[in-house]
Structure formats: C-alpha cells, structure tokens
C-alpha cells in the first residue's frame, strides 16, 4: 500500500485552442489528489479505457486498486491525468519524466492535448517552483455547489465548426500579457474568449448563462468557465479594491461557491 499526492489543475484560458497546437495558460492547484493504492486494499480499479487503465494494461502490471482520500479536489480538476501519473509511479517506482509521460499520453489519448498531464507531472516533481503573478490575488476560483463534471472524452467527440485559431490565439496572448502588466478592464478578455468558443458550440448553455450573470456584476472585471464546455469551474477576476464578500451572495445564487483566490490555491 502506498499514498501519493498529485496536484490538481485548471485551465485559465486556452481550452480547445491547445488541441489545435495553440497556446494555453494552466495552473496546478491545491488541494490535489491524494491516492492510496495497492493490491491489498479495498477500492476501485482504473477504468480499462482510461489513461491509467491503458498504461497498466500495456505494462502487463498487476492492476492495483486505489481510493481517493478525503480533502482531494472535486471532479473536473484533472482526476484522470492524476490517476495516470499514479499508475506510472506504480509501474516504475519513480515519478515520470514529464516529456516522457506526455509523449506516451499523446500516442494513446490522441484527442486530448495532454497539457494538463504535462503540467501536473512537472509540478509533482518540482512543487512551488514557479513565481505567481500578483494579479492572482484578485483572481478567484469558483466551483459548483453540486458538481456536474462534463465528460471530456464525450465533449471532444462532438462534431462542431472549426475554431478561429488566430482570434483565440490573440486573446490568449492578451491574457498572458495582462498577467505581467494588468490594465484596467483588461480581463474582460476572459469573457471574449468564452464568447468566441460559444459561437461554435464549445461552451455549454448553462456555463454561458452563469458567465453572463457574473460578468454583469459591477465588481467583476472578467469571468469565464474552465474545462470541457467551459463548464466545470469558473475563473472570476474582481476589479482592484473589490472585496470577495461583495460578490459572495451573487456567486451562490449562480449555483457556485468561492474556493479562494488563485494566489492561495497554487501548488
């Protein structure tokens, strides 16, 4: 029996663009995923078609059962890629080289970019190694009061019009620049990015409704959903000097809770 911990992750911006070889901005966050695994515990088995299940099958390893321990991240924060890293550790006894496990993932899960797995692998090996931007103090992670994970594999299998690569790329570049040099009102770029994906059916109707409610608040500079369908969690940027308490009621009415400022959640 062994216990390991893998960071959770969140796409700040770049969903769907990264599938076409574009850029994305992600963060590894706490709480992560704490797994107990072994052949002698009561728990669940990785799904055979999941990345972890495929990895174990290819290695011919005896499949260990695992269970997710308390205080782990909720659905939608990179659980399947965390399981894949857990399986790699089970097979090899050491943490993977990030590029090595990412190359395996791209061969075996071709519909996904693996950007999340690459980030989680890097942060597992070198926690706390990245300096966080100051603007993270007014960026808040929101999660659903009643989690309803949008299955990524089902989302990626949908047929939809192609994205406008150059438009999305320019929005991601604007966001990256704002992390270094924030300007008043600049984080409305988050809503612009979500709206661009919405026009091709890549933002769920429910996520769009929530985004519209929150971005109409006077205290909010920008907001977008994160993950498949921009549906799993939300990133909300408050205007300078605005308190968290001033938006807490509106956030709860939208069916969400405030996890905390991004600055306190980074792995």
Q: Which residues contact 119 (CB under 8 A, 6 or more apart)?
A: 7, 9, 26, 27, 28
Distances (CA, A) of 135 to 21, 54, 200, 261: 27, 40, 30, 10
Lowest-confidence region among 153-162, 204-213, 216-225, 247-256: 153-162
Q: Where does residue 89 fall: left (phi above 0), alpha (psi -120 to 50 degrees), or beta otherwise?
A: alpha
What whole-number distance in Å separates Cα of residue 129 and Cα of residue 125?
10
Instruction: Identify the DSSP state of 44.
Output: B
Environment class of residue 48 by beta-carbon count within 10 Å: exposed (0-12), middle (13-18) or buried (19+)?
exposed
Q: Does residue 39 surpass a pLDDT of 80?
A: no
Alpha helices in the chain (DSSP H): 51-59, 79-92, 98-108, 115-125, 152-156, 165-180, 189-198, 205-215, 245-253, 262-265
Beta bridge partners of 6: 33
Q: Does residue 254 surpass a pLDDT of 90?
A: yes
Q: What is the pLDDT of residue 189?
A: 98
Options 3.30.70.890, 3.30.590.20, 3.30.390.50, 3.20.20.210; CATH for 134-265 is 3.30.70.890
Same fold, 2-125 and 134-265: no
Region 2-125: CATH code = 3.30.230.10
Say if pTM beats, i.e. exceeds, 0.95: no
Q: Reduce the DSSP state of residue 14 to 3 states and report it.
A: coil
CA end-to-end distance (rounded Å), the chain: 25
Distances (CA, A) of 45 to 2, 8, 67, 121: 15, 20, 9, 22
Angle at 135 between CA 130 and CA 141, to 5 degrees: 85
Domain ranges of the chain: 2-125, 134-265
Q: Does residue 6 surpass a pLDDT of 90?
A: yes
Per-residue model confidence as pLDDT tens digits over 96-145: 999 999 999 999 998 889 999 999 999 987 766 678 899 999 999 999 99
Per-residue model confidence as pLDDT tens digits over 47-86: 888 898 899 889 887 666 788 888 888 777 888 899 999 8
Whether a cis peptide bond, with omega within 30° of 0, leads into 249 is: no
Per-residue model confidence as pLDDT tens digits over 213-232: 999 999 999 999 999 999 98
């Amino acid at each position: 029996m062994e216990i390991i911990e893998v960071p959770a992750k969140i796409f700040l911006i770049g969903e769907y663009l990264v599938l076409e070889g574009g850029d994305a901005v992600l963060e590894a966050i706490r709480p992560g995923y704490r797994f107990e695994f072994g052949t002698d515990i009561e728990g669940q088995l990785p799904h055979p078609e999941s990345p972890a299940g495929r990895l174990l099958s290819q290695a011919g390893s005896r499949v260990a059962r695992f269970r997710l321990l308390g205080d782990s991240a909720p659905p939608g924060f990179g659980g399947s890629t965390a399981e894949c890293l857990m399986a790699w550790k089970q097979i090899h006894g050491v943490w993977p080289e990030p590029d090595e496990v990412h190359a395996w993932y791209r061969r075996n899960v071709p519909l996904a970019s693996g950007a999340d797995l690459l980030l989680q692998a890097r942060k597992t090996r070198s926690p706390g190694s990245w300096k966080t931007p100051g603007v993270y103090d007014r960026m808040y992670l929101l999660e659903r009061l009643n989690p309803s994970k949008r299955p990524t594999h089902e989302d990626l299998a949908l047929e939809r019009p192609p994205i406008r690569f150059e438009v999305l790329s320019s929005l991601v570049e604007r966001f990256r620049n704002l992390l270094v040099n924030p300007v008043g009102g600049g984080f409305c770029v988050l809503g612009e990015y979500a709206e661009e994906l919405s026009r091709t059916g890549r933002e769920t109707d429910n996520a769009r409704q929530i985004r519209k409610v929150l971005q109409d608040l006077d205290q909010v500079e920008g907001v977008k959903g994160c993950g498949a369908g921009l549906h799993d969690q939300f990133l909300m940027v408050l205007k300078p000097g605005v308190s968290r308490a001033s938006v807490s009621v509106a956030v709860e009415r939208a069916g969400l809770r405030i996890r905390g400022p991004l600055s306190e959640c980074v792995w």
